[in-house]
Structure 1
Amino acid sequence: LPPSEDDVRASRRNLKFAGIEALITGLCDESRLLQRKREWFVGVVCIIYYFGSLPAISYGGQYVIPFLDEYGVSLSVLFIVTCEMVAVCWFYGIDRFSNDIKSMLGFYPGLYWRVCWMLCPIFIMIIFVMTVWQASLEPMQLPGYTFPKWSVGFGWFLRMLSVSSVPLFAIYMLSFAKGTFTEVSASITRHVGSSKSRSNLLKGVWSAVGGAADCRVHPISDSWSGLSAQANQTFHPSGVLLGCATYLPPLRGR
């Protein structure tokens, strides 16, 4: 059956909630002040979202939404996805990623998925390059309206603003690393083997940048519907770092 209007509205609300919650959680994990003032911070974020969305529902919204869809989504998402795929599939490695999946689900992913993960970054990079190649430097046109010339520069500014966090954060972390550029580049793209060495690495990095470095391991357990699981949860005050994860072994029935 086709979705009703209520279903479409509910799905839109759920998408907005997930996006806002991801932003709030990431920033609160990075700042103790925001953790203590979380309610006020959530209120400020919602107010900013509210006033920022007013142009989209005004009389000019029919021009604002296509403009943001053209300049604020396609290239930015492709760039971020390319960085994620290269980091996970090539730097971290398919074997380690498969071992992590086995620790959570109880079985290794099949050969089909492993081959897809290995080749996926190549295809995504090709799509990204082709999208950049086909990007027009002419003002965007809609039926009965042509955007001004300055809109092209503003649109590319929006694109660069959304993807700049990746290289800027990499430069920020590189500025605290010791050694030559070659040594630093090799160290930040090399997987840290054991959980103990990962913990020591994270402590050293966040001590250097002024973050709290207390890593604690808490045993947790849960049970539902006749199933039980035991896990060790590694807690880091700065939870956005890669490697700060909860590893769940296979679920077993009682």
Structure 2
Amino acid sequence: MLLILLIRGVTLPGAWDGIRYYLYPDFKHLVNLEVWIEAGSQICFSYSLASGLLIVLSSHNEYKNNCYKDCFWLCLLNSGTSFFAGFVIFSLLGFMAQKQRVTVDKVAESGPGLSFIVYSEATAMMPLPQFWSVCFFLMVFFLSVDTHFVTVECFITSLTDLFPRHLRGPGRYEVFLFLVCLFVFLIQLTLVTEGGIYVFLLIDYYGCTRAYHYFMILSESVALAWCFGSDQIMNSIEDMTGHRPSIFFHVCWKYILPVLSLTSFILYLVGYTHLKINDWYVYPDWAYTLGWAMTLSSILIGPLWAAGQWWVTPGTFAQAQSLLHLLGCPLTAKMTFRWTVLRRPVADRARQTRETGEEGTTVELMTSRVTA
């Protein structure tokens, strides 16, 4: 669909002005710290970092899967698609700018206005506007559905891993999935009401902010590189792929990534401003409170869950640390527990439930050994 829109876009008058604006660099903006923060935020959203999606998808792989190849193709296809989509966007923006007799930067917008205002106007100016409008919004629809597939799968997988005996039985998984989708559907009906755009912008601004991404990246880097150990991660990758990562990854995980994410998190809090719509509509105080509740719920769930795991793990603090480290180490005693639970063959969930129950015995034995 992007290719079709690009072919149509470059044939429109003024399209090359938009593409020239897209490709022409303005190096003075490189000294602006906000530009780098926005670039990091774009990478977080584009690659779904620190949201659990990549972990859930990778958990379906075989143990000896080549993670290097997966990462390479993921980065190449993701960034390549984004770069390619830029040609589509700016070819249409150049066309609109010529029609309105303004410069390209005057018609460029971000957020929902880009899809529902700019593109609507652009397709309305094309020959056969109904056809091109249908093509574009079908693409948007299928992209949103595809995104929801992965997002819901991440949520469902997390809960079924926590409560396998209750949610992985025959028919239970399907019922649970239906109830989750029904609940989300009913909640999102508020977005299509008369004031739905205000609800949408509030959720978009506070529900999954840069603060959440930066804090979760910081937490994951500290938990993995410092608590679990970057050497253990490198040993695990070497055991899976047969090649040990370079020291560059060790430095990134342990030092560069925590510093960058912490710096970005602090800068976001320092530069925070209340959400306004077109600089004239200000939300009531209760809306800002609700927004920050959504932000904090995403940020605090990780530390609270970690504290809860420490609390319920038997033994002293040192014993609990040893047990949690033992259960998390992929190289400990060739643990079949680790991949039986993490590899979830979707085709046979009943067999998976039995295997999880068997491995529960292994966990209990290991717990007794550590606390003894």
Q: CA deviation at 1:125?
A: 1.2
CA contact (8 A) 2:326 2:332 kept: no
Percent identity of paired positions between Structure 1 and Structure 2? 26
Partner of 1:23: 155
* Deviation larger for 15-24 or 68-77: 68-77
Show the 5 A alignment for 1:31-46.
31=163, 32-36=165-169, 37-46=172-181
Task: After TM superposition, list the pairs within 5 Å mapping 1:64-83 onto structure 2.
Answer: 64-74=199-209, 75-83=211-219
Aligned position for 2:297? 161
Aligned to 1:58: 193
More helix by share: 2
CA distance in 1 between counterparts of 2:151 and 2:240 reads 25
Decide which of 141, 144, 167 is 1:12's aligned counterpart.
Answer: 144
Q: Which amino acid aligns with 1:40?
A: V
The TM-score with structure 2 as length reference comes to 0.48
Q: Distance in 1 between matches of 2:253 and 2:201?
A: 33
Which of 257, 261, 266 aligns to 1:124? It is 261
In structure 2, list runs of 5 or more residues that go unmatched.
7-84, 86-134, 341-354, 360-372
- Give the Å deviation of 1:69: 1.6
Counterpart of 1:134 (choices 231, 251, 271) is: 271
| Counterparts of 1:20 and 1:217, CA distance in 2 | 22
Per the TM alignment, residue 77 of structure 1 is displaced from its structure 2 partner at its CA by 2.5
Please say if residues 160 and 167 of structure 2, whose CA atoms lie closer than 8 Å, have aligned partners that are also in contact.
Answer: yes
Question: 1 CA distance for matches of 2:191 and 2:292?
Answer: 19
What are the Cα deviations for residues 78-122 of structure 1, in whole angstroms up to 9, with x where unaligned? 222221111112222222212222233332223433332231111
Residue number in structure 2 paired with 1:224: none
One-letter amino acid matched to 1:175? W
What is the aligned partner in structure 2 of residue 171 from structure 1? 307
AA of the residue aligned to 1:15: T
Deviation at 1:16, TM superposition (A): 0.5
Q: Distance in 2 between matches of 1:190 and 1:171?
A: 15
- 1:35: how far off? 1.6
* Cα distance between partner residues in 2 of 1:86 and 1:71: 24
Deviates more, 1:1-10 or 1:116-125: 1-10
Superposed displacement of residue 147, structure 1: 0.6
The normalised TM-score by structure 1 is 0.68
CA 1:128–1:106: 2 relative to 1, 3 Å: same
Q: How do 1:169-248 residues align onto structure 2 when only pairs under 5 Å count?
A: 169-178=305-314, 183=318, 187=322, 194-196=331-333, 215=337, 236=356
Q: Distance in 2 between matches of 1:217 and 1:11?
A: 31
* 1:16-39: CA deviation from partner (whole Å, max 9, x where unpaired): 100101111221222222222111
Higher strand share: 1
Q: Who wins on radius of gyration, i.e. which is larger? A: 2
Contact 1:30 1:238 (C-alpha < 8 Å) held by counterparts: no
Paired residues, number: 206
CA contact (8 A) 1:101 1:107 kept: yes
* Alpha-carbon distance between aligned partners in 2 of 1:152 and 1:124, rounded to the nearest angstrom: 25
2-structure distance, mates of 1:190, 1:25: 22
- In structure 1, list runs of 5 or more residues that go unmatched: 200-213, 219-234, 240-254
Separation (CA, whole Å) in 2 of partners of 1:217 and 1:120: 28
Contact 2:313-2:320 within 8 A present in 1 as well: no
Contact 2:237 2:243 in 1 (8 A): yes
Q: CA deviation at 1:42?
A: 0.9
Change (3 A) 1:184 1:165: farther
Does structure 2 retain, via aligned residues, the 8 Å contact 1:34–1:41?
Answer: yes
Distance 1:61 1:103 in 2: 50
Counterpart among 207, 211, 232 of residue 96 in structure 1: 232
1:120 maps to amino acid: L
Deviations 1:128-170 (A, max 9, x none): 122122223xx42112411112222111111122233222222
Give the corresponding residue for 1:246: none
Aligned equivalents of 1:106, 1:26: Cα separation in 2: 29
Cα deviation, 1:34-58, whole Å, max 9, x if unaligned, reads 2221111111011011111112222
The separation in 1 between residues aligned to 2:154 and 2:222, in whole angstroms, is 22
Aligned counterparts of 2:189 and 2:310: Cα–Cα separation in 1: 39
Per the alignment, in what secondary structure is the counterpart of residue 304 of structure 2? helix
